[in-house]
Chain A
Amino acid sequence: MSDWKLHTPIGLSDILPEECEKKKEVENIINDVFISMGYKEIETPAFEYYDVFAGGSGQISQENMFKFFDEKGRILTLRPDITTSIARVCATKLHEENLPMRLCYTGNVFRAEKTEGVRQREFTQSGIELLGSDTPNADAEVIAAAIESLLAVGISDFRVEIGQVAFFNGLVEQAGLSREDTEKLRERIECKDSLGIKELTEKLHLEEEIKRLMIALPELFGDLSVVEKAEVCGLNDTSKSALENIKSIYKLLKDYGFEEFISLDLGMLQSIDYYTGSIFKCYTHGVGFPICAGGRYNNLVGKFGSSMSAVGVAFGINRILTALRKIEEKTEPTVNPVIFAKDGCDGAAYAFAKKLRQRGFCCEIYIDGHNEENAEEYAGKIGAEYIFKVGKEDFLAVKNLVCGDLVETTSEDFLENFE
């Protein structure tokens, strides 16, 4: 038998200091962008009653959730996403707040998925939800926040694909297709298999115009001209307003100066039970999966008793780190200077370290005795640039371990000049 105590479960991993430093940095940058745009941070529990995530309206199916029981036999679930929990909070606790409401979060989510490489069973998501506004400006703001975040973390070679599931839903409505046929068609369109769609539509007795549109859908991606191509006569109101909506979103983002990052894809039809309008995914070179995804989900909050329109986006922090690893030079991890206390000067050394820290400067205290040579050897080994030796009567020696320069001064003088 394997010695399980030595391992982490499949799909879960430790994040070691070097990587963790980078991860927190990315999380903080993204969070700062959200905060600067007026989003308020929120936390929800790591596990909830299964009922919160159960049912058809969720994005994640039940076999992909970790479940366990509480002492009364109720089913609990490790959260597979955070948006659903936020929808619950909004409907039950924040429904009397002023709208629109802007919320952001960072947290770990859990999926019982077959894991291979980048697909983890526990991973960190950061995201925003903009609730209580159904305007294209809300969609555009969320997409803009996504773009600003990516630029802020240092990814500039990316593309946000924007789709509109209501357009397809309108076509289906008009053609009066059954749920089964709709799913077959959706699946072929999502696969961009135009020959397959052609075959299917021939069996379905569709109006000529709609048939042509369905077959064309896989290729309706690119700039604003795809909307023009989709604007044929005889569309119903659902499809028409969907096209108007995606056009407005595009134009707003163009006005914000983001045209180079966006393109449209009317054939993007994932999770159409969940999303009700715009849907977007962001891609970059070298990462085979979207690094962030989102859309409008006007029906989710209502599931918890108080309906509210909503649009949001979530980032996979791990995927962003993967993307960054591909474009960044490997950066050296930061090594803090070492503070060494001469015999009997522990208090003085601690006070000096504290003063440095209060000035926003990180440092570590040597804790293995008072032998100067050992301390220097240690500082050299970890790659510290400086060692500060604190002695009696405010004495301070600053040694640069790279060039060997030694300056003798008092800590008072040093801190004064340091300012």
Chain B
Amino acid sequence: MQYLTVALAKGRLAELAMDLFIKNGYDCSEMKEKTRKLIFTDEKNKMKFILVKASDVPTYVEYGAADIGVVGKDSLLEEHKNLYEMINLGFGKCKMAVCGPAELKNKFRKINNLKVASKYTKIAENYFLEELGQTVEMIKLNGSVELAPIVGLSDVIVDIVESGKTLKENGLDVLEEICPLSAWFVVNKVSMKIHRERIMKIVEGFKEEIEK
């Protein structure tokens, strides 16, 4: 039997995903130990678990380097890869939103050449160009995006909002919600066909667990 490889987005999502796998009888307890290893094997079920950067999960899965992935919808939307997005796992809930100084609420859509800073330039571009029909100037940043409106680098930002605490502390507000986000179970299209039984077994197990 060939190994099935599962790519997990490093961090909290990986831990929550592991719990789901463990509940379904897969042994990835090794991952719970504090270690710097990036690859773990469940010999009994012939499964390999790999830890990769969230935004790389869709790439691993699209290429078939991993058969299965667990990753946030934000990475899926931003990377826009060709794969099966099979189950919304429901955990890791947050949202993608346009944020900025509160006084821009209901106004930012009318600003000509609105400057938008974001890590998620594709999602932001898609939202402004396709959905709102607004031409904007995109500024790609890699972190601490909340700073951009404060120091005048941009008018607004597009970012993930969980509690909104970071925003508040930096004097920003949610101006408009773009879409809800959560963790998804994704599958490589070829793997799905070749390992149908094994993958569907996991899918069914996970669905049951979620619908509980």
A residues with a Cβ closer than 8 A to B are 116-118, 159, 161, 191-196, 218-219, 221-222, 263, 265, 283-290
Contacts and interface: CB of A to CB of B under 8 A. Distances in A.
Given A193-B87, A195-B88, A196-B88, A288 B207 contact: no
B118 interface: no
B84 interface: yes
Interface in B189-209: 189-194, 196, 200, 207
A289 B63 CA distance: 7
B193 A192 contact: no
A116 B188 CA distance: 17
B65 interface: yes
Given A117-B63, A191-B83, A287-B190, 17 more contacts: A116-B59, A118-B63, A159-B193, A191-B85, A192-B85, A193-B87, A193-B88, A195-B87, A196-B85, A218-B86, A221-B193, A221-B196, A222-B196, A263-B193, A283-B193, A289-B64, A290-B190
A92 B185 CA distance: 48
Interface of B: 2, 59, 62-65, 83-88, 187-194, 196, 200, 207, 210
A7 B83 CA distance: 32
Contacts of A288: 62-65, 188-191
B193 A193 contact: no
A254 B187 CA distance: 29
Contact of B85 (A193, A219, A222): A193
A289 B190 contact: yes
Nearest to A199: B88
Q: By CB atoms of chain B within 10 A, which of A191, A195, A284 has the most?
A: A191
Contact of A191 (B2, B84, B188): B84
A283 B193 CA distance: 8
A263 B64 CA distance: 20
A11 to B, nearest CB: 16
A179 B153 CA distance: 39
Contacts of B87: 193, 195
Contacts of A161: 193
B192 A192 contact: yes
Contact of B86 (A193, A222, A286, A287): A193
Contacts of B192: 192
8 contacts: A117-B63, A192-B85, A193-B85, A195-B87, A218-B86, A285-B194, A288-B63, A289-B64
B65 A159 contact: no
A288 B66 CA distance: 9
Contacts of B193: 159, 161, 221, 263, 265, 283
Nearest to B84: A192
B194 A283 contact: yes
Contact of A195 (B84, B189, B207): B207
Contacts of A290: 189-190
Nearest to B85: A191
Contacts of B88: 193, 195-196
A192 B64 contact: no
Nearest to A283: B190
Given A116-B59, A283-B190, A283-B193, A191 B64 contact: no
A287 B192 CA distance: 13
Contacts of A221: 193, 196
Contacts of B194: 159, 283, 285
Instruction: State the 9 A-B residue pairs at the shortest beta-carbon distance, nearest first.
Output: A288-B64, A191-B85, A283-B190, A192-B84, A288-B63, A192-B86, A193-B85, A283-B193, A191-B84
B117 to A, nearest CB: 22
A173 B63 CA distance: 35
Nearest to B186: A191
A287 B64 contact: yes
Contacts of A284: 190
A284 B194 CA distance: 8
Contacts of A285: 2, 194
B164 to A, nearest CB: 26
